[in-house]
Protein backbone atom coordinates (compact mmCIF):
# COMPACT_ATOMS: atom_id res chain seq x y z
CA UNK A 1 0.00 0.00 0.00
CA UNK A 2 1.29 3.48 -0.87
CA UNK A 3 2.31 5.91 1.80
CA UNK A 4 0.30 9.08 2.36
CA UNK A 5 2.31 11.95 3.83
CA UNK A 6 0.53 13.93 6.54
CA UNK A 7 2.09 17.17 7.76
CA UNK A 8 1.70 17.32 11.52
CA UNK A 9 0.41 20.62 12.90
CA UNK A 10 1.52 20.93 16.50
CA UNK A 11 1.69 23.59 19.17
CA UNK A 12 3.36 23.46 22.58
CA UNK A 13 4.12 19.76 22.28
CA UNK A 14 0.56 18.79 21.39
CA UNK A 15 -0.91 17.65 18.09
CA UNK A 16 -3.70 19.80 16.72
CA UNK A 17 -7.03 18.05 16.22
CA UNK A 18 -6.93 18.83 12.49
CA UNK A 19 -3.86 16.57 12.15
CA UNK A 20 -5.81 13.62 13.59
CA UNK A 21 -8.50 14.38 11.01
CA UNK A 22 -5.85 14.28 8.27
CA UNK A 23 -4.58 10.90 9.51
CA UNK A 24 -8.16 9.60 9.33
CA UNK A 25 -8.55 10.88 5.75
CA UNK A 26 -5.12 9.48 4.83
CA UNK A 27 -6.17 5.94 5.76
CA UNK A 28 -8.70 6.00 2.92
CA UNK A 29 -5.92 6.64 0.40
CA UNK A 30 -3.12 4.43 1.75
CA UNK A 31 -0.86 4.10 4.76
CA UNK A 32 -0.42 7.32 6.76
CA UNK A 33 3.10 8.59 7.38
CA UNK A 34 3.20 11.55 9.75
CA UNK A 35 5.80 14.22 9.03
CA UNK A 36 6.92 16.09 12.14
CA UNK A 37 8.87 19.29 11.52
CA UNK A 38 9.96 21.13 14.63
CA UNK A 39 12.49 21.72 17.37
CA UNK A 40 14.44 18.72 18.72
CA UNK A 41 12.26 16.62 21.04
CA UNK A 42 8.95 17.44 19.32
CA UNK A 43 8.28 13.96 17.98
CA UNK A 44 8.91 12.33 21.36
CA UNK A 45 6.03 14.37 22.82
CA UNK A 46 3.47 13.68 20.10
CA UNK A 47 4.34 10.22 18.76
CA UNK A 48 1.79 8.45 20.96
CA UNK A 49 -1.08 10.58 19.75
CA UNK A 50 -0.05 9.94 16.12
CA UNK A 51 0.15 6.19 16.81
CA UNK A 52 -3.36 6.32 18.27
CA UNK A 53 -4.69 7.65 14.96
CA UNK A 54 -3.13 5.15 12.61
CA UNK A 55 0.27 6.65 11.69
CA UNK A 56 2.36 3.73 10.41
CA UNK A 57 5.51 5.85 10.19
CA UNK A 58 6.69 9.09 11.69
CA UNK A 59 9.28 11.03 9.73
CA UNK A 60 11.16 13.13 12.24
CA UNK A 61 12.55 16.33 10.76
CA UNK A 62 13.90 18.15 13.79
CA UNK A 63 16.37 21.00 13.91
CA UNK A 64 17.21 24.00 16.04
CA UNK A 65 16.38 26.35 13.19
CA UNK A 66 12.94 24.91 12.35
CA UNK A 67 11.13 27.46 14.49
CA UNK A 68 13.23 30.42 13.34
CA UNK A 69 11.96 30.16 9.79
CA UNK A 70 8.52 30.53 8.23
CA UNK A 71 6.96 27.83 6.07
CA UNK A 72 10.17 26.80 4.25
CA UNK A 73 11.28 24.04 6.70
CA UNK A 74 7.94 22.27 6.14
CA UNK A 75 8.12 22.81 2.37
CA UNK A 76 11.69 21.47 2.20
CA UNK A 77 10.76 18.38 4.24
CA UNK A 78 7.58 17.53 2.32
CA UNK A 79 9.17 18.08 -1.10
CA UNK A 80 12.11 15.82 -0.20
CA UNK A 81 9.91 13.09 1.26
CA UNK A 82 7.48 13.30 -1.67
CA UNK A 83 10.36 12.63 -4.03
CA UNK A 84 11.79 9.85 -1.88
CA UNK A 85 8.59 7.95 -1.11
CA UNK A 86 6.33 8.65 -4.15
CA UNK A 87 3.30 8.91 -1.86
CA UNK A 88 -0.31 8.52 -2.99
CA UNK A 89 -0.91 12.03 -1.68
CA UNK A 90 0.38 14.75 0.62
CA UNK A 91 -2.20 16.03 3.14
CA UNK A 92 -1.95 19.37 4.92
CA UNK A 93 -4.48 21.24 7.10
CA UNK A 94 -6.14 24.13 5.26
CA UNK A 95 -4.96 26.79 7.68
CA UNK A 96 -3.33 30.04 6.50
CA UNK A 97 0.09 28.46 6.95
CA UNK A 98 -0.95 25.03 5.65
CA UNK A 99 -2.24 26.46 2.39
CA UNK A 100 0.99 28.40 1.85
CA UNK A 101 3.04 25.26 2.50
CA UNK A 102 0.87 23.16 0.18
CA UNK A 103 1.03 25.67 -2.69
CA UNK A 104 4.82 25.79 -2.49
CA UNK A 105 5.15 22.00 -2.25
CA UNK A 106 2.93 21.63 -5.32
CA UNK A 107 5.12 24.04 -7.28
CA UNK A 108 8.34 22.40 -6.18
CA UNK A 109 7.15 18.87 -6.98
CA UNK A 110 5.39 19.80 -10.22
CA UNK A 111 2.05 18.70 -8.83
CA UNK A 112 -1.51 19.91 -8.70
CA UNK A 113 -3.08 20.88 -5.37
CA UNK A 114 -6.55 21.31 -3.96
CA UNK A 115 -7.69 23.94 -1.47
CA UNK A 116 -10.09 23.66 1.47
CA UNK A 117 -11.32 20.15 0.84
CA UNK A 118 -14.31 18.92 2.90
CA UNK A 119 -14.03 15.26 1.99
CA UNK A 120 -11.77 12.84 0.09
CA UNK A 121 -12.83 9.54 -1.47
CA UNK A 122 -10.54 6.51 -1.82
CA UNK A 123 -10.02 7.31 -5.53
CA UNK A 124 -8.66 10.75 -4.61
CA UNK A 125 -11.72 12.73 -5.74
CA UNK A 126 -12.16 15.60 -3.31
CA UNK A 127 -15.27 17.58 -2.43
CA UNK A 128 -15.05 21.33 -2.01
CA UNK A 129 -17.60 23.94 -1.10
CA UNK A 130 -17.08 27.21 -3.01
CA UNK A 131 -18.51 30.74 -3.00
CA UNK A 132 -19.36 30.38 0.65
CA UNK A 133 -21.22 27.12 0.22
CA UNK A 134 -23.26 28.18 -2.84
CA UNK A 135 -21.63 25.45 -4.96
CA UNK A 136 -20.35 21.95 -4.34
CA UNK A 137 -17.42 21.00 -6.56
CA UNK A 138 -15.78 17.61 -6.98
CA UNK A 139 -12.26 17.67 -8.33
CA UNK A 140 -9.05 15.71 -8.52
CA UNK A 141 -5.38 16.28 -9.09
CA UNK A 142 -4.34 15.06 -12.53
CA UNK A 143 -0.60 15.81 -12.51
CA UNK A 144 2.11 14.80 -10.07
CA UNK A 145 1.57 13.89 -6.42
CA UNK A 146 -1.80 15.19 -5.23
CA UNK A 147 -1.26 17.84 -2.56
CA UNK A 148 -4.52 18.28 -0.69
CA UNK A 149 -5.43 20.78 2.01
CA UNK A 150 -8.32 19.68 4.22
CA UNK A 151 -10.56 22.12 6.08
CA UNK A 152 -10.14 21.68 9.84
CA UNK A 153 -13.27 20.15 11.34
CA UNK A 154 -14.59 18.78 8.03
CA UNK A 155 -13.67 15.14 8.66
CA UNK A 156 -14.24 13.37 11.98
CA UNK A 157 -11.05 12.02 13.54
CA UNK A 158 -11.24 8.29 14.23
CA UNK A 159 -8.86 6.39 16.48
CA UNK A 160 -6.85 3.54 14.93
CA UNK A 161 -3.74 1.65 15.91
CA UNK A 162 -0.54 2.51 14.05
CA UNK A 163 3.06 1.43 14.59
CA UNK A 164 4.32 5.03 14.35
CA UNK A 165 7.84 3.81 13.60
CA UNK A 166 10.15 6.80 13.82
CA UNK A 167 12.63 7.60 11.07
CA UNK A 168 14.94 10.59 11.35
CA UNK A 169 15.27 12.59 8.13
CA UNK A 170 18.03 15.05 7.29
CA UNK A 171 16.78 17.83 5.05
CA UNK A 172 19.48 19.87 3.34
CA UNK A 173 18.74 23.58 3.58
CA UNK A 174 17.87 25.03 0.19
CA UNK A 175 20.48 27.69 -0.42
CA UNK A 176 18.87 29.43 -3.36
CA UNK A 177 15.99 30.96 -1.47
CA UNK A 178 16.60 33.87 0.87
CA UNK A 179 15.26 33.31 4.36
CA UNK A 180 12.68 35.20 6.31
CA UNK A 181 13.51 35.32 10.01
CA UNK A 182 10.94 34.82 12.72
CA UNK A 183 11.86 37.43 15.33
CA UNK A 184 9.00 36.81 17.75
CA UNK A 185 5.79 34.90 18.31
CA UNK A 186 2.63 35.84 20.22
CA UNK A 187 0.45 32.74 20.08
CA UNK A 188 -3.29 33.08 20.45
CA UNK A 189 -4.25 32.41 24.05
CA UNK A 190 -6.91 29.74 24.04
CA UNK A 191 -9.90 30.88 26.05
CA UNK A 192 -12.41 28.72 27.87
CA UNK A 193 -14.65 28.60 24.82
CA UNK A 194 -14.07 26.20 21.93
CA UNK A 195 -12.19 27.42 18.86
CA UNK A 196 -14.58 29.10 16.40
CA UNK A 197 -13.86 26.92 13.35
CA UNK A 198 -13.96 23.70 15.39
CA UNK A 199 -16.97 24.40 17.61
CA UNK A 200 -20.16 22.36 17.22
CA UNK A 201 -22.24 25.33 18.38
CA UNK A 202 -21.61 28.93 17.34
CA UNK A 203 -23.59 31.90 18.69
CA UNK A 204 -22.98 35.10 16.73
CA UNK A 205 -24.00 38.68 17.30
CA UNK A 206 -24.53 41.42 14.73
CA UNK A 207 -25.23 45.10 14.49
CA UNK A 208 -28.43 44.54 16.47
CA UNK A 209 -26.40 43.83 19.60
CA UNK A 210 -25.72 47.55 19.65
CA UNK A 211 -22.54 47.85 21.72
CA UNK A 212 -19.44 46.05 22.97
CA UNK A 213 -20.90 45.83 26.48
CA UNK A 214 -24.11 44.20 25.36
CA UNK A 215 -22.16 41.44 23.61
CA UNK A 216 -22.24 39.71 27.00
CA UNK A 217 -25.76 38.54 26.06
CA UNK A 218 -24.20 36.66 23.11
CA UNK A 219 -21.41 35.26 25.30
CA UNK A 220 -23.87 34.06 27.95
CA UNK A 221 -25.87 32.10 25.40
CA UNK A 222 -22.68 30.66 23.87
CA UNK A 223 -21.57 29.52 27.33
CA UNK A 224 -24.97 28.03 28.12
CA UNK A 225 -24.78 26.00 24.90
CA UNK A 226 -21.06 25.21 25.30
CA UNK A 227 -20.34 26.99 22.03
CA UNK A 228 -18.04 29.55 20.49
CA UNK A 229 -18.83 33.23 20.02
CA UNK A 230 -18.88 34.76 16.54
CA UNK A 231 -19.60 38.22 15.19
CA UNK A 232 -20.82 39.64 11.91
CA UNK A 233 -18.68 42.06 10.00
CA UNK A 234 -21.00 44.91 10.94
CA UNK A 235 -20.44 44.11 14.63
CA UNK A 236 -16.66 43.89 14.17
CA UNK A 237 -16.51 47.09 12.11
CA UNK A 238 -18.51 48.88 14.80
CA UNK A 239 -15.95 47.74 17.37
CA UNK A 240 -18.38 45.53 19.32
CA UNK A 241 -16.19 42.43 19.13
CA UNK A 242 -12.60 41.57 18.04
CA UNK A 243 -11.94 40.76 14.38
CA UNK A 244 -10.62 37.27 15.03
CA UNK A 245 -14.21 36.21 15.75
CA UNK A 246 -15.64 37.50 12.47
CA UNK A 247 -17.78 35.02 10.56
CA UNK A 248 -18.35 35.57 6.86
CA UNK A 249 -16.75 36.03 3.49
CA UNK A 250 -13.87 38.02 4.93
CA UNK A 251 -13.74 36.18 8.25
CA UNK A 252 -14.00 32.56 9.26
CA UNK A 253 -16.14 29.99 7.53
CA UNK A 254 -17.97 27.85 10.04
CA UNK A 255 -20.29 24.88 9.67
CA UNK A 256 -21.32 23.85 13.16
CA UNK A 257 -24.22 21.59 14.13
CA UNK A 258 -26.03 24.67 15.43
CA UNK A 259 -25.59 28.32 14.45
CA UNK A 260 -27.50 30.97 16.38
CA UNK A 261 -27.63 34.43 14.79
CA UNK A 262 -28.58 37.25 17.17
CA UNK A 263 -29.33 40.64 15.64
CA UNK A 264 -27.71 39.68 12.34
CA UNK A 265 -29.53 40.79 9.18
CA UNK A 266 -27.88 38.06 7.08
CA UNK A 267 -26.19 39.95 4.26
CA UNK A 268 -24.85 37.66 1.52
CA UNK A 269 -21.30 38.15 2.82
CA UNK A 270 -22.27 36.85 6.24
CA UNK A 271 -24.22 33.93 4.83
CA UNK A 272 -21.11 32.92 2.87
CA UNK A 273 -19.43 32.14 6.17
CA UNK A 274 -22.19 30.16 7.88
CA UNK A 275 -24.82 28.87 5.49
CA UNK A 276 -23.40 25.32 5.52
CA UNK A 277 -24.27 25.07 9.23
CA UNK A 278 -26.49 22.10 9.94
CA UNK A 279 -29.19 23.99 11.84
CA UNK A 280 -29.63 27.77 11.86
CA UNK A 281 -31.64 29.68 14.44
CA UNK A 282 -32.15 33.43 14.08
CA UNK A 283 -33.48 36.17 16.33
CA UNK A 284 -34.08 39.57 14.76
CA UNK A 285 -36.45 42.48 15.29
CA UNK A 286 -36.88 42.97 11.55
CA UNK A 287 -39.27 40.39 10.06
CA UNK A 288 -37.81 41.21 6.61
CA UNK A 289 -34.21 40.35 7.62
CA UNK A 290 -32.72 38.03 4.97
CA UNK A 291 -31.34 35.75 7.70
CA UNK A 292 -34.89 34.36 8.08
CA UNK A 293 -34.73 33.08 4.48
CA UNK A 294 -32.15 30.49 5.53
CA UNK A 295 -33.04 29.99 9.20
CA UNK A 296 -34.56 26.66 10.22
CA UNK A 297 -36.19 28.40 13.15
CA UNK A 298 -36.62 32.14 13.46
CA UNK A 299 -38.00 34.39 16.14
CA UNK A 300 -39.06 37.92 15.26
CA UNK A 301 -38.36 39.74 18.45
CA UNK A 302 -35.94 41.59 20.68
CA UNK A 303 -32.75 39.61 21.18
CA UNK A 304 -32.31 41.17 24.62
CA UNK A 305 -35.42 39.40 25.90
CA UNK A 306 -35.28 36.25 23.76
CA UNK A 307 -31.58 35.36 24.22
CA UNK A 308 -31.46 35.59 28.06
CA UNK A 309 -34.65 33.54 28.27
CA UNK A 310 -33.07 30.98 25.94
CA UNK A 311 -29.88 30.88 28.04
CA UNK A 312 -31.96 30.28 31.15
CA UNK A 313 -34.06 27.53 29.55
CA UNK A 314 -30.95 25.75 28.26
CA UNK A 315 -29.36 25.93 31.71
CA UNK A 316 -32.56 24.50 33.23
CA UNK A 317 -32.57 21.55 30.85
CA UNK A 318 -28.93 20.86 31.49
CA UNK A 319 -29.71 20.90 35.20
CA UNK B 1 18.08 52.24 -0.35
CA UNK B 2 17.12 55.43 -2.09
CA UNK B 3 13.63 54.85 -3.40
CA UNK B 4 11.35 51.84 -3.59
CA UNK B 5 10.27 50.06 -6.72
CA UNK B 6 7.02 48.39 -5.68
CA UNK B 7 4.85 45.96 -7.60
CA UNK B 8 1.29 45.51 -6.37
CA UNK B 9 -0.83 42.61 -7.57
CA UNK B 10 -4.54 43.08 -8.11
CA UNK B 11 -7.34 40.80 -9.20
CA UNK B 12 -10.77 41.48 -10.53
CA UNK B 13 -13.32 39.23 -8.86
CA UNK B 14 -17.07 38.73 -8.87
CA UNK B 15 -18.60 41.09 -6.34
CA UNK B 16 -19.28 39.22 -3.09
CA UNK B 17 -22.49 41.25 -2.80
CA UNK B 18 -23.87 39.58 -5.92
CA UNK B 19 -24.86 36.00 -6.77
CA UNK B 20 -21.73 34.14 -7.90
CA UNK B 21 -21.95 31.23 -10.34
CA UNK B 22 -19.90 28.59 -12.12
CA UNK B 23 -20.55 27.82 -15.79
CA UNK B 24 -22.26 24.51 -16.63
CA UNK B 25 -19.93 23.73 -19.51
CA UNK B 26 -16.44 23.79 -18.00
CA UNK B 27 -17.05 24.59 -14.32
CA UNK B 28 -15.07 27.83 -14.57
CA UNK B 29 -16.20 31.15 -13.13
CA UNK B 30 -19.26 32.58 -14.86
CA UNK B 31 -17.91 36.07 -15.37
CA UNK B 32 -21.18 37.41 -16.74
CA UNK B 33 -23.26 36.30 -13.77
CA UNK B 34 -21.92 38.79 -11.26
CA UNK B 35 -20.61 42.35 -11.22
CA UNK B 36 -16.83 42.45 -11.51
CA UNK B 37 -14.92 44.58 -9.03
CA UNK B 38 -11.37 44.97 -7.76
CA UNK B 39 -11.06 42.58 -4.82
CA UNK B 40 -11.39 44.56 -1.61
CA UNK B 41 -8.18 43.19 -0.11
CA UNK B 42 -6.31 44.43 -3.21
CA UNK B 43 -7.38 47.99 -2.44
CA UNK B 44 -5.62 47.56 0.88
CA UNK B 45 -2.55 46.20 -0.94
CA UNK B 46 -2.54 49.26 -3.22
CA UNK B 47 -2.97 51.53 -0.18
CA UNK B 48 -0.01 49.92 1.61
CA UNK B 49 2.15 50.24 -1.53
CA UNK B 50 1.20 53.92 -1.80
CA UNK B 51 1.98 54.54 1.89
CA UNK B 52 5.43 52.97 1.43
CA UNK B 53 6.01 55.05 -1.69
CA UNK B 54 4.97 58.20 0.15
CA UNK B 55 7.37 57.39 2.99
CA UNK B 56 10.36 56.28 0.93
CA UNK B 57 9.79 57.67 -2.56
CA UNK B 58 9.72 55.49 -5.65
CA UNK B 59 7.20 53.95 -7.99
CA UNK B 60 4.16 51.67 -7.76
CA UNK B 61 3.40 49.37 -10.68
CA UNK B 62 0.12 47.46 -10.74
CA UNK B 63 0.22 43.95 -12.20
CA UNK B 64 -3.00 42.13 -13.00
CA UNK B 65 -3.89 38.99 -14.91
CA UNK B 66 -7.39 38.77 -16.30
CA UNK B 67 -9.65 39.28 -19.30
CA UNK B 68 -10.04 42.66 -21.05
CA UNK B 69 -12.54 44.00 -18.60
CA UNK B 70 -9.97 43.73 -15.78
CA UNK B 71 -8.89 47.18 -17.01
CA UNK B 72 -11.65 48.59 -14.77
CA UNK B 73 -9.91 47.18 -11.70
CA UNK B 74 -6.55 48.42 -12.98
CA UNK B 75 -7.94 51.95 -13.52
CA UNK B 76 -9.27 51.95 -9.97
CA UNK B 77 -5.77 51.20 -8.63
CA UNK B 78 -4.25 53.87 -10.88
CA UNK B 79 -6.85 56.41 -9.75
CA UNK B 80 -5.90 55.69 -6.14
CA UNK B 81 -2.38 56.77 -7.07
CA UNK B 82 -0.41 53.87 -8.58
CA UNK B 83 1.93 55.07 -11.33
CA UNK B 84 1.64 52.51 -14.08
CA UNK B 85 0.25 49.07 -14.84
CA UNK B 86 0.95 45.79 -16.56
CA UNK B 87 -2.12 43.89 -17.73
CA UNK B 88 -1.55 40.23 -18.63
CA UNK B 89 -4.36 39.26 -20.94
CA UNK B 90 -4.55 36.26 -23.23
CA UNK B 91 -7.51 34.10 -24.21
CA UNK B 92 -5.38 30.99 -23.62
CA UNK B 93 -5.26 31.80 -19.88
CA UNK B 94 -8.96 30.94 -19.41
CA UNK B 95 -9.36 28.27 -16.73
CA UNK B 96 -5.78 28.46 -15.45
CA UNK B 97 -5.22 27.04 -11.97
CA UNK B 98 -3.18 28.59 -9.16
CA UNK B 99 0.05 26.90 -10.30
CA UNK B 100 -0.23 28.38 -13.78
CA UNK B 101 -1.39 31.74 -12.45
CA UNK B 102 1.60 31.96 -10.11
CA UNK B 103 3.99 31.10 -12.94
CA UNK B 104 2.49 33.71 -15.29
CA UNK B 105 2.53 36.41 -12.57
CA UNK B 106 6.15 35.55 -11.72
CA UNK B 107 7.12 35.90 -15.40
CA UNK B 108 5.41 39.29 -15.58
CA UNK B 109 7.11 40.51 -12.40
CA UNK B 110 10.46 39.46 -13.87
CA UNK B 111 9.88 41.85 -16.81
CA UNK B 112 10.00 44.76 -14.35
CA UNK B 113 13.53 45.74 -13.50
CA UNK B 114 14.85 46.20 -9.97
CA UNK B 115 11.73 45.28 -8.00
CA UNK B 116 12.21 45.83 -4.25
CA UNK B 117 8.86 44.68 -2.97
CA UNK B 118 5.88 42.72 -4.28
CA UNK B 119 2.68 43.52 -2.38
CA UNK B 120 -0.50 41.44 -2.71
CA UNK B 121 -3.73 40.73 -0.86
CA UNK B 122 -3.51 37.65 1.36
CA UNK B 123 -6.46 35.83 -0.15
CA UNK B 124 -8.89 36.53 -2.99
CA UNK B 125 -12.60 36.34 -2.23
CA UNK B 126 -13.33 34.05 -5.19
CA UNK B 127 -10.70 31.29 -5.22
CA UNK B 128 -9.68 31.69 -1.57
CA UNK B 129 -6.49 29.66 -2.07
CA UNK B 130 -4.56 32.17 0.01
CA UNK B 131 -1.29 30.90 -1.37
CA UNK B 132 -0.41 32.91 -4.50
CA UNK B 133 1.94 35.28 -2.59
CA UNK B 134 3.75 32.29 -1.02
CA UNK B 135 3.94 30.60 -4.41
CA UNK B 136 5.41 33.76 -5.98
CA UNK B 137 8.06 33.82 -3.23
CA UNK B 138 8.86 30.21 -4.12
CA UNK B 139 9.15 30.96 -7.85
CA UNK B 140 11.04 34.25 -7.50
CA UNK B 141 13.36 32.90 -4.78
CA UNK B 142 12.31 35.72 -2.43
CA UNK B 143 11.46 35.71 1.28
CA UNK B 144 7.72 35.60 2.03
CA UNK B 145 6.27 37.91 4.67
CA UNK B 146 2.59 37.13 4.33
CA UNK B 147 -0.73 37.86 6.10
CA UNK B 148 0.64 41.19 7.34
CA UNK B 149 -1.33 43.43 9.65
CA UNK B 150 1.63 45.83 9.75
CA UNK B 151 4.49 46.47 7.30
CA UNK B 152 7.62 48.50 7.96
CA UNK B 153 10.60 49.16 5.72
CA UNK B 154 13.83 50.48 7.15
CA UNK B 155 16.88 50.69 4.95
CA UNK B 156 17.04 47.39 3.11
CA UNK B 157 15.05 45.47 5.70
CA UNK B 158 11.32 44.76 5.68
CA UNK B 159 9.54 43.84 8.91
CA UNK B 160 6.05 42.46 9.13
CA UNK B 161 3.55 41.51 11.82
CA UNK B 162 1.90 38.38 10.47
CA UNK B 163 -1.57 37.60 11.80
CA UNK B 164 -3.17 34.20 11.30
CA UNK B 165 -5.32 31.84 13.38
CA UNK B 166 -2.06 30.88 15.16
CA UNK B 167 -1.60 34.39 16.51
CA UNK B 168 0.97 37.06 15.71
CA UNK B 169 4.37 36.22 14.24
CA UNK B 170 7.02 38.91 13.84
CA UNK B 171 8.99 38.50 10.61
CA UNK B 172 12.01 40.23 9.11
CA UNK B 173 13.90 39.85 5.83
CA UNK B 174 16.18 41.67 3.46
CA UNK B 175 14.62 43.27 0.37
CA UNK B 176 13.61 42.27 -2.24
CA UNK B 177 10.69 40.38 -0.73
CA UNK B 178 7.05 39.36 -1.19
CA UNK B 179 4.49 40.77 1.25
CA UNK B 180 0.79 39.99 1.48
CA UNK B 181 -1.60 42.08 3.52
CA UNK B 182 -4.64 41.11 5.58
CA UNK B 183 -7.88 42.88 6.45
CA UNK B 184 -6.47 44.92 9.32
CA UNK B 185 -3.57 46.53 7.48
CA UNK B 186 -5.17 49.89 6.65
CA UNK B 187 -8.22 51.71 5.33
CA UNK B 188 -7.85 52.23 1.60
CA UNK B 189 -8.24 55.78 0.30
CA UNK B 190 -10.99 56.79 -2.11
CA UNK B 191 -9.77 57.95 -5.51
CA UNK B 192 -10.04 61.72 -5.82
CA UNK B 193 -11.55 63.36 -8.89
CA UNK B 194 -8.05 64.49 -9.81
CA UNK B 195 -6.81 60.93 -9.35
CA UNK B 196 -9.53 59.56 -11.60
CA UNK B 197 -8.69 62.06 -14.34
CA UNK B 198 -4.95 61.42 -14.02
CA UNK B 199 -5.46 57.63 -14.18
CA UNK B 200 -6.75 57.93 -17.73
CA UNK B 201 -3.35 59.09 -18.90
CA UNK B 202 -1.21 56.64 -16.94
CA UNK B 203 0.61 53.98 -18.97
CA UNK B 204 -0.90 50.48 -19.09
CA UNK B 205 1.24 47.86 -20.83
CA UNK B 206 -0.70 44.87 -22.09
CA UNK B 207 1.28 41.64 -22.25
CA UNK B 208 0.23 38.44 -23.98
CA UNK B 209 1.74 35.03 -23.37
CA UNK B 210 4.11 35.58 -26.32
CA UNK B 211 5.56 38.66 -24.61
CA UNK B 212 6.30 36.54 -21.54
CA UNK B 213 7.80 33.65 -23.52
CA UNK B 214 5.10 31.27 -22.29
CA UNK B 215 3.75 28.57 -24.59
CA UNK B 216 -0.08 28.81 -24.66
CA UNK B 217 -0.26 25.00 -24.31
CA UNK B 218 1.24 25.29 -20.81
CA UNK B 219 -1.66 27.31 -19.43
CA UNK B 220 -5.44 27.30 -19.35
CA UNK B 221 -8.04 24.74 -18.48
CA UNK B 222 -6.63 21.86 -20.59
CA UNK B 223 -3.16 22.14 -19.07
CA UNK B 224 -4.24 22.62 -15.45
CA UNK B 225 -2.81 20.16 -12.89
CA UNK B 226 -6.27 19.66 -11.40
CA UNK B 227 -9.61 19.02 -13.00
CA UNK B 228 -13.17 19.47 -11.86
CA UNK B 229 -15.17 16.25 -12.14
CA UNK B 230 -18.51 17.90 -11.45
CA UNK B 231 -19.96 21.07 -9.94
CA UNK B 232 -23.48 21.86 -8.86
CA UNK B 233 -25.17 24.73 -7.07
CA UNK B 234 -26.22 23.65 -3.63
CA UNK B 235 -30.00 23.47 -3.39
CA UNK B 236 -30.98 26.76 -1.76
CA UNK B 237 -31.71 26.51 1.94
CA UNK B 238 -35.41 26.94 2.48
CA UNK B 239 -36.80 29.08 5.23
CA UNK B 240 -38.05 27.04 8.16
CA UNK B 241 -40.51 28.00 10.82
CA UNK B 242 -40.75 31.63 11.93
CA UNK B 243 -42.64 32.89 14.94
CA UNK B 244 -43.35 36.27 16.52
CA UNK B 245 -42.03 36.61 20.04
CA UNK B 246 -45.00 36.64 22.42
CA UNK B 247 -42.80 36.74 25.48
CA UNK B 248 -41.94 33.07 25.06
CA UNK B 249 -39.40 33.32 22.18
CA UNK B 250 -36.57 31.75 24.17
CA UNK B 251 -38.77 28.89 25.31
CA UNK B 252 -39.96 28.26 21.75
CA UNK B 253 -36.33 28.02 20.55
CA UNK B 254 -35.43 25.54 23.28
CA UNK B 255 -38.45 23.42 22.35
CA UNK B 256 -37.31 23.46 18.73
CA UNK B 257 -33.72 22.58 19.68
CA UNK B 258 -34.93 19.77 21.96
CA UNK B 259 -37.01 18.32 19.11
CA UNK B 260 -33.86 18.38 16.95
CA UNK B 261 -31.91 16.76 19.83
CA UNK B 262 -29.61 19.79 19.92
CA UNK B 263 -30.06 20.41 23.64
| pLDDT bucket at B77, cuts 50 / 70 / 90 | very high
Q: Which pLDDT value is given to residue A176? A: 54
Q: Which pLDDT value is given to residue A190? A: 67
> Nearest by CB to B227, which of A139, A299, A313?
A139
Q: What is the pLDDT of residues A224-262, one digit of tens each?
A: 999 999 999 999 999 999 888 999 887 888 889 999 999
Percent of the residues in chain A that have a pLDDT greater than 70, as a whole number: 98
Q: Can you give the residue ranges of every domain in chain B?
A: 4-223
Q: How far is CA B60 from the centre of its chain?
A: 16
> Nearest by CB to B167, which of A130, A188, A318?
A188
Q: Which residues of A touch B260 (CB under 8 A)?
A: 279
What is the rounded average pLDDT of the residues B58-70?
A: 94
Residue B171 and residue A115: Cβ atoms within 8 Å? no
Distance CA A31, CA A114 (A): 20
Q: Which pLDDT value is given to residue B22? A: 85
A58 or A173: whose pLDDT is higher?
A58
Q: What is the pLDDT of residues A28-56, one digit of tens each?
A: 999 999 999 999 999 999 999 999 999 99
Q: Which pLDDT value is given to residue A258? A: 96
> Between 3.40.50.300, 3.40.640.10, 3.30.365.10, 3.40.50.620, what CATH number should domain B4-223 receive?
3.40.50.620
Q: What is the pLDDT of residues B127-177, one digit of tens each?
A: 788 999 999 999 999 999 999 999 999 999 999 999 988 889 999 999 999
Task: Suggest the residue from B235, B250, B256 to mutate for an interface test with chain A (most A CBs closer than 10 A).
Answer: B250
Q: How far is A228 from chain B (nearest CA, A)?
A: 15
Q: Which pLDDT value is given to residue A175? A: 62
Q: Which pLDDT value is given to residue A56? A: 98
Domains of chain A and CATH, by start: 3-168 (3.40.50.620), 196-318 (3.40.50.1220)
A178-192, A231-245, A289-303, B68-82: segment of lowest average pLDDT: A178-192
Q: Which residues of A touch B23 (CB under 8 A)?
A: none
| pLDDT bucket at B1, cuts 50 / 70 / 90 | low
Distance CA B240, CA B254 (A): 15
What is the rounded average pLDDT of the residues B232-253?
A: 90
Give contacts of A 206-235 with B, CB under 8 A. 225
Q: How far is B133 from chain A (nearest CA, A)?
A: 8
Q: Which residues of B touch A183 (CB under 8 A)?
A: 159, 170-172
pLDDT surpassing 70 at residue B32: yes
Q: Which pLDDT value is given to residue A174? A: 65
Amino acid sequence: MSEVLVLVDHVDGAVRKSTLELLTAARRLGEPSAVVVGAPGTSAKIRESLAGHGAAKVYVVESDTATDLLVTPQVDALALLAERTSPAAVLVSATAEGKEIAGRVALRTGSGWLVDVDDIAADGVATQSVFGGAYVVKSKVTTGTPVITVRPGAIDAEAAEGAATEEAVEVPVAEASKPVRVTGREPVVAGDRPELSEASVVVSGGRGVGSADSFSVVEELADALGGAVGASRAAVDSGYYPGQFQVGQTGKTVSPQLYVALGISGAIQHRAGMQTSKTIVAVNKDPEAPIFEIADFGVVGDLFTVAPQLSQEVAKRRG
Amino acid sequence: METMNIVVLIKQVPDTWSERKLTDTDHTLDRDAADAVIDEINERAVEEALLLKEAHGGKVTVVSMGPDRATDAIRKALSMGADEAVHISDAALHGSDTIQTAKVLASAIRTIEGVDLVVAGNEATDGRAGAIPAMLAELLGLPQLTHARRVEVEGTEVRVERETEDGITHLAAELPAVVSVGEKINEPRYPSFKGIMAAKKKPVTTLGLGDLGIDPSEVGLAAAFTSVVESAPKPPRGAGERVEDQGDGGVRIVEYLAAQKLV
